[in-house]
Structure 1
């Protein structure tokens, strides 16, 4: 057997080993790229390689599907003995438990051929359609049908990345007879929402009778007093309507099921865009302060804002972390561009009446911030990016770290290879992000490697990562491909004040590439952080924000 055949056999063996243990996908990068770069590889050989990759991906996807399906079934189906439906965002039943067989055959809920869910109550159907499309957020929702004397408890679930029918599931729906629902106790409401006894008594009655005036009469207080207490409850809970407040309380009472809270306790807010997609965000700092819009890194786990919340308040800043498409509950937009997201930001600012906000972006969030500044310069006061990615034309040969260099070569050779490997990698990254960070740290500056593997840093960043991947991790592939394509805007169109900050030790996007990008932006200020690498937001975030907000003189090293 010649050397080339041995290399081929070893590569194919590694591919199938990675399918079984996708957390080791990084070990496949080097031999894969080395093989693809050999000049002697002809088209037929590349197609054979792709065929093996495709089979390995299908094998990995099958295991991925089984793992996610088991997780969903164990977590939901076995929890309660009542009828349960798993539905997609088109209101089709993907799966259901045995308790649902009878109601689907002869009840007010029926399943048509093909799986479409048919509801006799038109109003209930409309409400359910909004829930499965996440237009009411990720929290559990309780829907009532007076017509059918029925209650639906709707629970949005983490969406699977597996290319199987389970990946269609967006919501689990439990079906109850109306008599099953009892108003939660006063004490449970006070404990659950952190409200006063008087406020808890009012909310208890609202859950029972649903009418503010009648509740006030039963409590022997004026309607004005009841309305004041209701506003206080909404302020404490962050819920903006009486209907949503009662729904939240009743869903907790019914099954004592907690909402899908974020790791730091801050509510993921959301709005429905004109095209019916969902855009979500988080808020920190001072509600009446100067608005600062932040776009996060690729994984969605940096920067972490809870440690800075009090500092934001002291600086008079209202920080709005806008969750990019596909992360959190923001609707995916796999074929969208950076400029398309700029249109979403314009609607976001108009809807919230944000006047001249500051834009900030880190890592993969940088191109999104720059695109918005280029498309709508009059909308924003200024823009700043820190550790941002740059257009590929500004990347200098040999200046990528080994991992990204291999990924780029793979894309250049055949994008299908990159996509296939990415599909296998998703399962490993999603199941064990700690292992991925450990692998990635091998290509980083020692300081970056120490930061990314620091248990204290991971304790903050990993919970946020898992929250951002609520709809699955496949959005990472979409983000990579979006960066590799033309960005569809010109840096020369950015006419507002711009700051570009970059770590001198960054091995992923080296400082000279960031400098080249900054020089293409008219009047941009370029700042080099001498002792920072890929993760300057961990140690320099407040300094960066202060410079953008203009609150203190800059003290960092600056180069022309």
Structure 2
């Protein structure tokens, strides 16, 4: 097998071993995602399937890819974990990842040995043997300062699936959800929960009073109150409970936390729960204004663009965005639940909470199909639908030549081998994380350079960063579900029977949904009005805001 500076050359990927090596090297960050797309490209252009051997090899790789992706996610989450010192080690004692607290504690970096943590080889071997022998976690003693005798104790767990050790420093610190549970179940105040944590660390009343700048008498009274609320007969019992809570393995807060950029975002963010599923929603514009239900796009239609929010506020629009399953915070439906019906019920639940009886609909790109489904199901609640950059039902005979390779691969996979979507998404996430939040649109619009200049602006970078977290938060599950009901499923019957007014705008330079194909929407529904914005692409909701908003307002005036 010939080699290039970056690894395998496309010409040498000619057997199933080569295919496996290529895919796994991409997952491990050793090669670029574009190599696989280049190798698969002939199949997408010639409208034929993969060879049986290649299809089988790729299908069998799904489990390995998911396993490596899970490990990648764990390492990434740990690096961003702001909790107690934590590290991931290989079986040979090599440091694979560390969080900020561990980085400040030890003068070692990824790729170095556990020996740099003051752990002798014999001690690390004994640690491993205890885990194997007793089939459970064990303790590892480390020394941040080799010149001092004060150790830091870590509790270590072994993950056989990934062949790694996860180490977390022993501290009396429980998760926020456990903290809320202590408040709800025992009615412990914030101060009383802090007292409980001090007891678990073995602190005396005098030590607690010094730490909290309180009198000893006040602390003793607080301890007495804590014991009464817990139903404990001694400080030892209370401390044992607190220590047990703090010692439980905790999911990294990174997995469920709001992206950092949202802390100062002018969007009104909320969450609801429907039948045990979490539903995220966003709201902007003028509260109490004309109600608009927006079905967001895949990359930039979730209310993140400041100019669009300003327009809505000036025009008196109250815009609600219910995050679709797999995006943002909304959890995907169960295996037995129909996707579009789940989305409709999610929207109806939030509309009911707000008391909105009738709404205008707005959709961005892939949001068009769920918007059609909502209008079809509840026409009495819909005044009209305004669609920005709508997709078109794909026919197996449609040529994909004008579509950029990255996007063409997903469309082809959705139509011919849907199982490949997850494989491509997982590989794409590795590349997206290399680009980072501000630059990842360069990957999204690979082959469509006319879409990129906006993302070099200050506003564009903000949209890109927000979109990055919104998309990757659930490992691009939302994109997978979009491909299922927009490309792999024939939704043309929805469009043909829709009874509410539909007004769409499309860019003349849209290479993702080429204008020539988009114009077929009017053939399927002659009542649909389609306007073209010259020089605009898929990103027209960002680059041609005045033009698209003017057409939207014109439609809404007609509704009124």
TM class, shorter-length: 0.5 to 0.7
Partner residue of 1:364? Answer: 366
Alignment check: 8 A CA contact 1:373 1:380 kept: yes
Alignment check: 8 A CA contact 2:33 2:428 kept: yes
Alignment check: 8 A CA contact 2:284 2:309 kept: yes
Task: Check if 1:515 corresponds to 2:522.
Answer: no
- The 3-state SS of whatever aligns with 1:442 is coil
Alpha-carbon deviation of 1:143?
Answer: 5.2
Alignment check: 8 A CA contact 2:361 2:385 kept: yes
Alignment check: 8 A CA contact 1:61 1:424 kept: no
Query: CA 1:176/1:381 → structure 2, altered by over 3 Å: closer, same or farther?
Result: farther
Alpha-carbon deviation of 1:100?
Answer: 5.2
TM-score (norm 2): 0.62
TM-score (norm 1): 0.62
Alpha-carbon deviation of 1:501?
Answer: 0.9
Task: Check if 1:320 corresponds to 2:320.
Answer: yes
Distance 2:468 2:317 in 1: 24
Alpha-carbon deviation of 1:382?
Answer: 0.6
Partner residue of 2:384? Answer: 382
Distance 1:325 1:442 in 2: 26
- The 3-state SS of whatever aligns with 1:364 is helix
Tell me which moved more, 402-411 or 259-268. Answer: 259-268
Alignment check: 8 A CA contact 1:400 1:509 kept: yes
Distance 1:258 1:510 in 2: 33
Task: Check if 1:47 corresponds to 2:86.
Answer: no
- The 3-state SS of whatever aligns with 2:506 is strand
Alignment check: 8 A CA contact 1:430 1:473 kept: no
Q: Unmatched 5+ residue regions in structure 1?
A: 85-93, 104-108, 110-127, 133-139, 155-173, 185-256, 555-560
Partner residue of 2:423? Answer: 420
Task: Check if 1:485 corresponds to 2:492.
Answer: no
Alpha-carbon deviation of 1:315?
Answer: 1.2
Distance 2:55 2:382 in 1: 48
Distance 1:395 1:350 in 2: 43
Aligned residues: 420
The within-5 A match list for 1:102-141 is none
Alignment check: 8 A CA contact 1:269 1:281 kept: yes
Q: Unmatched 5+ residue regions in structure 2?
A: 3-9, 87-98, 103-151, 156-165, 213-257
Distance 1:4 1:501 in 2: 42
Partner residue of 1:225? Answer: none
Alignment check: 8 A CA contact 2:328 2:470 kept: yes
- The 3-state SS of whatever aligns with 1:347 is helix
The within-5 A match list for 1:1-400 is 7-8=14-15, 11-21=19-29, 24-34=32-42, 42-52=51-61, 54-72=63-81, 98-99=170-171, 144=183, 147=186, 149=188, 261-273=262-274, 275-300=275-300, 304-333=304-333, 335=335, 336-393=338-395, 396-398=398-400, 399-400=402-403
Partner residue of 2:535? Answer: 531
Partner residue of 1:254? Answer: none
Query: CA 1:295/1:95 → structure 2, altered by over 3 Å: closer, same or farther?
Result: farther
Task: Check if 1:457 corresponds to 2:460.
Answer: yes
What CA deviation, in whole Å up to 9, does each residue of 1:271-302 have, x standing for no partner? 222x2323222222211210112122113555
Alpha-carbon deviation of 1:457?
Answer: 0.9
Distance 2:375 2:339 in 1: 14
Based on CA coordinates, which of the two structures has the bigger radius of gyration? 2
- The 3-state SS of whatever aligns with 1:312 is helix
Partner residue of 2:243? Answer: none
What CA deviation, in whole Å up to 9, does each residue of 1:36-77 have, x standing for no partner? 979896534432344456545534543333332343375786
Alignment check: 8 A CA contact 2:29 2:430 kept: no
Query: CA 1:370/1:524 → structure 2, altered by over 3 Å: closer, same or farther?
Result: same
Alignment check: 8 A CA contact 1:360 1:384 kept: yes
Query: CA 1:6/1:285 → structure 2, altered by over 3 Å: closer, same or farther?
Result: closer
Query: CA 1:511/1:41 → structure 2, altered by over 3 Å: closer, same or farther?
Result: closer
Task: Check if 1:407 corresponds to 2:415.
Answer: no
- The 3-state SS of whatever aligns with 1:383 is strand
Alignment check: 8 A CA contact 1:144 1:152 kept: no
Alignment check: 8 A CA contact 2:303 2:309 kept: no
Which of 499, 506, 523 is matched with 2:503 structurally? 499
Give the aligned CA root-mean-square deviation in angstroms.
Answer: 4.6
Alignment check: 8 A CA contact 1:281 1:323 kept: yes
Distance 1:509 1:258 in 2: 30
- The 3-state SS of whatever aligns with 1:144 is helix
Query: CA 1:20/1:74 → structure 2, altered by over 3 Å: closer, same or farther?
Result: farther
Alignment check: 8 A CA contact 1:53 1:421 kept: no
- The 3-state SS of whatever aligns with 1:507 is coil
Alpha-carbon deviation of 1:145?
Answer: 5.4
Distance 1:430 1:147 in 2: 43
Task: Check if 1:476 corresponds to 2:476.
Answer: no
